[in-house]
Structure 1
Amino acid sequence: MLRTPILAILGLTGMLLMPSTSAQVREYPSEHGTLQVSQVVAGLEHPWSMAFLPDQQGLLVTERPGRLRLVTLQGALSEPISGVPAVYARSQGGLLDVVLSPEFAQDRLVYLSYAEAGDGEYAGTAVGRARLSLDNRQLQGFQVIFRQLPKLSSGAHFGSRLVFDRDGHLFVALGENNQRSTAQDLDKLQGKVVRLHPDGKVPRDNPFVGQAGVRPEIWSYGHRNQQGAALNPWTGQLWTHEHGPRGGDEINIPQAGKNYGWPLATHGVNYSFLPIPEAQGKAVAGTEPPHYVWEKSPAISGMAFYDGERLAAWRGNLFIGALVGQALIRLELRGDQVVHEERLLEPLDARIRDVRQGSDGYLYVLTDASNGQLLRLALQPQE
């Protein structure tokens, strides 16, 4: 193969140069102009998440089978970065979210969430961190800082998304491992949002600290399968979203110690069209209603607030990927209230797993497929 010598000559050893896609711009209508979509890179195996490095160095992308790669904004794809932990790559499990430390410029710490096998047949979500080498080729000294216990998943509903708040706390949005009742069990970490210090220690002001029989990591509970989370850049509040069953996908703004209902309260039914056995209705006393709900599930994944200038018409909007819906959902906000929804990229004919605002001010999405793509979104305003 001639790839290595060519890359060495170009000074990009370890990076696979992809052909330019500048001529492959697809256009889609939107309410604010023409949405222009270009492929940055393809050939990703079920990519799940991305995190942008500073100074236009590109972005880290996770692939669910267990690989972490660096992609440049020009479309060069690295070989797998070494030092990634072994993952439980079955069904919905594998390597999931990636975020950078708030102090990445000084500590170069990268945080990963992933499905981790247990001693028996079950698995659970784990979170760890490691230092990214200066050449961006290795994760050094990987350390697990959190484990979802007990391990109850046979391949479903791991969550998970990672978000740092303004004070440096790490929130982990978890799934209930398809074990519905556990979302209400405060001695278990299924169906919870947990709040940690960056090293995995529990903050003293978490809502259940010191209560017997309750996991002190818990921030909120009663969640189903959370695959979107982001910090509102204007309020500093954590927003999450979760898959409903058949119907009832929802957005929440999780508050300390609150119960978000699953499976007691839901807008959905079972996949068999039968009622959820534990459900008592759409609204149940003692539980928080969804902040926003879809009665018909688009199967949401990924979440990003847009606060850039490049797509000025969309500043202040919230973007969410849709898997079954195969679209990018744009939500207009007035304060915290959702006042309008638009479906973008139809017909893309691809499942959107993640959406992020890039370091260059464009929007980027990942498509969930065996030949997944990283796409860049620009907006040509209406004249």
Structure 2
Amino acid sequence: MTKPFNDTILKAFRGEPTDHTPVWFMRQAGRSQPEYNKLKERYSLFEITHQPELGAYVTRLPVEQYDVDAAILYKDIMTPLPAIGVDVEIKKGIGPVIDNPIRSRADIEKLGTIDPETDVSYVMDTIRLLTQEQLNVPLIGFSGAPFTLASYMIEGGPSKNYNKTKALMYSEPTTWFALMDKLAETTITYARAQVAAGASAIQIFDSWVGALNVEDYRTFIKPVMERIFTELESTEVPLIMFGVGARHLALEWNDLPVDVVGLDWRLSIKEARDMGITKPLQGNLDPSILLSDWNVIEERAKAIIDEGKQHPSHIFNLGHGVTPDIKPETLKRLTQLIHDYSKKN
């Protein structure tokens, strides 16, 4: 490594003082980068992630181009599912499509377990390549949360209303909890392996859990999340919780044994603090703002930084992922603004 290791974001994750607000962007790897789009002309997402050299290249590219304070592993939340017996394909313009959706307890009992070093060895090799040879910033590993994974497994693909998922949850709670237990085991094993390979933090994405109300979250989801984060505490790396459209669940996340609560743009940092969230916060610029004029971007970003600096600690991020139409130069300029402005104020 030519640069000294930058551990600023790890300090912020732990609630320690930092000399600037650290930043990374969800889906910063790939998406709008021309180098990535050239790769996609030759390789599918599946092919890129299965070749450690390519996966590492895509992962480290935004660190080199934008000067962000962390890398996020380039892969998909569906990655561990084939290992346990889920037939999933990422279809362009659709997303994950599953040919053998869960319909019964018998379907759950057919699911196996994951051995990360065997079943997803390419992920482990990518992590080792990045952390041992290529990165001068921490690498964030991640996993999908049980509800979000279950929603794909039950619906058979993306959904707007999650009717089949909720119907199974409400009408067959024993079956539901059996699925939650299976996915908890998978998540814990997979996340632990990422840390063992070199990941410095783990983010759990429960992207679609905002579809549930608070009471149902407490009944059907919170126990499994308690189990996951409690068991991952032994990894001794920062643990981050994130979901979309879930402002009503933020206090529930604050109760979990997590280090960082991630916010989307629907809940401001000030509102989160006022409602009683005490843990370090991550977020939360609306990605669509990055398609606006620079003066709008600058104003909104500074406001988030100002709110974040009122309480320790804050990690700047988007409220969801980078979209393909966001220009790389905008992300680079935004990173510089965050670093410079937060140092001065």
More helix by share: 2
Q: Tell me if both proteins adopt one fold, taking TM over 0.5 as the criterion.
A: no
Q: Under a length normalisation based on structure 1, what TM-score does the superposition of the two structures give?
A: 0.30
The structure number with the bigger radius of gyration is 1
More strand by share: 1
